[in-house]
Structure 1
Amino acid sequence: MKYSEPLLEGRLIRRYKRFLADVRLPDGQEVTAHCPNTGSMLGCQPDNARVWLSQSDNPKRKLKYTWELVETAPGVVACVNTARPNHQARHAIEAGVVAELTGYTNCRSEVRYGVEKSRIDLLLSGHPERPDAWVEVKNVTLAEGGQGYFPDAVTERGQKHLRELMAQVAQGDRAVLLFVVNHTGIEQVRPADHIDVRYGQLLRQARAAGVEVLAYRAALAGPDGNPGGRLELTEAVPVNLEP
């Protein structure tokens, strides 16, 4: 799974109004890019950071550029486009990369479910021996000293998803929380108790109730350490739920 076209490098000037970012291109031109991320992006917008943009020639788009990647520290890259993780997860599952979720023949996206009227990111069915698997995908980009944390801001929506997943387990199905680790500096994923203590509590409760908690790392960088347009998930990383 790769970007369809080479990304354009620039330098971050500022992010503002949540969905906008001003970027200086190598020729000195300043452009405004769409920032497809509703979160706080804590740790992912250093001053004058190297960033990479995708481009669109669609005349109906208001903004030509989309902010995709950022260098958070020398040689460390994160994907900030939250439209990517669901596609990354689906591609990895269908390619057999996520060992825990092999054997399913059907995959549906954005299926309505639950008493709290949620939409599941991926619903897997058709396994000859196992029940349907309800898969909620979360993007992890907050890193501190090799530790990856989720969430990067208080998330009532994320708390709701955990309650919905526990309800699916109670009905006899599989429920899976899949962290897509879109940060090359993360070696382990933990709940961000220091940001959203309730989410951490619910996550531990969910795993105790039978919700499976997985994390898989995205490649993001090429062999020379520079972003090479790679988005595929490549390997599992540990999830540590110790307080």
Structure 2
Amino acid sequence: MKFEQPLLEGLLIRRYKRFLADVRLADGSEVTAHCPNTGSMLGCQPANGRVWLSRSDNPARKLPYTWELVETVSGTLACINTARPNSQAREAIEAGRISELTGYSHCRPEVKYGEEKSRIDLLLSGHEAKPNAWVEVKNVTLEDNGQGFFPDAVTTRGQKHLRELMAQVALGDRAVLFFVVNHTAIETVQPADHIDQHYGQLLRQARDAGVEIIAYRANLANDDGSPSGEITLTEPVPVILEV
């Protein structure tokens, strides 16, 4: 996944109303950017922290700037734009880089399904030997001492997704929870029981019911630590479910 234009660096002044962030750019000007993240963004909105914005030339947009990356409190990079992981996952699957999901000829996004009226992020079909795979993608940016946690806030929506995935397994299909690790310091992923205990319980229940749980790391930074203009998923990350 490539950014269409080079990202603009700035300093975060504040995030507010969930979807807005005031940023001071390198030339001293201040802009209001769209913050495409409904979570708490724990550790990913440090005061005066370095952030990187994309800019759209679409005249119909009320806010031309979008907050994409942040330098976290630990000095590492995280992608906070929760619209990116679906594209990252789809690109990696279609390129054959996700070993667990190779062999499918078709990939459809945002397909309606389930008794709770959900939309699956990616529906894979056309495998010669395996059933359809329903893939739910989640962005992981909450980090503590190299451990990644999901979610970063109580998520009734995420709980619903787990129930829907278990139902698909019961119908004879594959169901996959795909954690996209968009934080350069994260070495493992596990449920954030200290934030949403019910989600952690459901995640383990889903694992026991046959839902496959995988995680892959994104290469957010260049060798010098600066943000990469192209973000791809590179390697699997262990998922730890034991309490």
The 8 Å contact of residues 75 and 226 in structure 1, kept in 2 or not, is answered as no
Secondary structure of residue in 1 paired with 2:52: strand
Give the whole-Å Cα distance in 1 for the aligned partners of 2:220 and 2:172. Answer: 36
Cα distance in 2 for partners of 1:233, 1:110 equals 21
Partner of 1:189 in structure 2?
Answer: 189
Contact 2:219-2:228 within 8 A present in 1 as well: no
Scaled by the length of structure 1, what TM-score is found?
0.98
State the alpha-carbon separation in 1 of the partners of residues 230 and 191 from structure 2.
26
Q: Which moved more, 1:228-237 or 1:198-207?
A: 228-237
CA RMSD of aligned residues (A): 0.8
Q: How does 1:35-74 map to 2 (within 5 A)?
A: 35-73=35-73
For the 8 Å contact 2:207–2:213, the answer to whether it is kept is yes
Indicate whether 1:155 and 2:159 are aligned. Answer: no
Would the aligned equivalents of 2:182 and 2:220 in 1 still touch at CA under 8 Å?
Answer: yes
Q: TM-score, normalised by structure 2?
A: 0.98
Residue identity matched to 1:226 = S
1:4 maps to what in 2? Answer: 4
| 1:73 to partner: Cα distance | 3.5
Deviation at 1:130, TM superposition (A): 0.3
Q: Does 1:76 align with 2:76?
A: yes
Q: Which runs of 5+ in 2 are unaligned?
A: none
2:145 counterpart of 1:136? no
- Tell me if structure 1 keeps the 8 A contact 2:44–2:73: no
Query: Which secondary structure does the structure 2 equivalent of 1:220 belong to?
Result: coil
Aligned mates of 1:95, 1:165 — CA distance in 2: 24
Instruction: Output one character per residue of 1:183-227: Cα deviation in whole Å (capped at 9) or x when no partner.
Output: 001000000000000000000000011000000011011121110
Secondary structure of the corresponding residue to residue 215 of structure 2: strand
Q: Give the match's secondary structure for 1:201.
A: helix
Instruction: Report the CA distance between 1:74 and its aligned residue.
Output: 5.4
Q: Hey, what's the Cα distance between the residues in 1 that align with 2:13 and 2:156? A: 31
Query: Is the contact made by 2:36 and 2:81 (CA closer than 8 Å) also made in structure 1?
Result: yes
Aligned residue number for residue 95 of structure 2: 95
- Counterparts of 1:152 and 1:188 in 2: how far apart (Å)? 15
1:212 aligned residue: 212
Provide the residue aligned with 2:238 in structure 1: 238
CA distance in structure 1 between the aligned counterparts of 2:138 and 2:44, rounded to whole angstroms = 16
Question: Conserved in 2, the CA contact under 8 Å of 1:222 and 1:230?
Answer: no
Which residue identity does 1:172 align to in structure 2? G
In 1, distance between residues paired with 2:170 and 2:208? 12
Paired residue type of 2:65: Y
Structure 1 unaligned regions, length at least 5: none
Q: Which runs of 4+ in 1 moved over 6 A?
A: none
1:29 and 2:29 correspond: yes
Q: How many residues align?
A: 243
CA distance in 2, matches of 1:13, 1:230: 26
The CA deviation at 1:26 is 1.0
- Change in CA separation of 1:182 and 1:101 when aligned onto 2, cut-off 3 Å: same
Asked whether the equivalents of residues 221 and 230 of structure 1 are also in contact (C-alpha less than 8 Å), the reply is no
Report the equivalent of 1:125: 125
Secondary structure (helix, strand or coil) at the match of 1:85 reads helix
Rounded to whole Å, the distance in 1 between the matches of 2:82 and 2:53 is 14
**1:146 and 2:146 correspond:** yes
Identity %: 77
Aligned counterparts of 1:116 and 1:31: Cα–Cα separation in 2: 39
After superposition, what is the alpha-carbon deviation per residue over 1:113-152, rounded to whole angstroms, capped at 9, x for unaligned?
1111111000000000000000000000000110000000
> Structure 1 residues 203 and 74, CA, compared in 2 at 3 Å: closer, same or farther?
closer
For residue 230 of structure 1, report the CA deviation from its aligned partner. Answer: 2.3
C-alpha contact 2:43 2:73 (8 A) present in aligned 1:
no
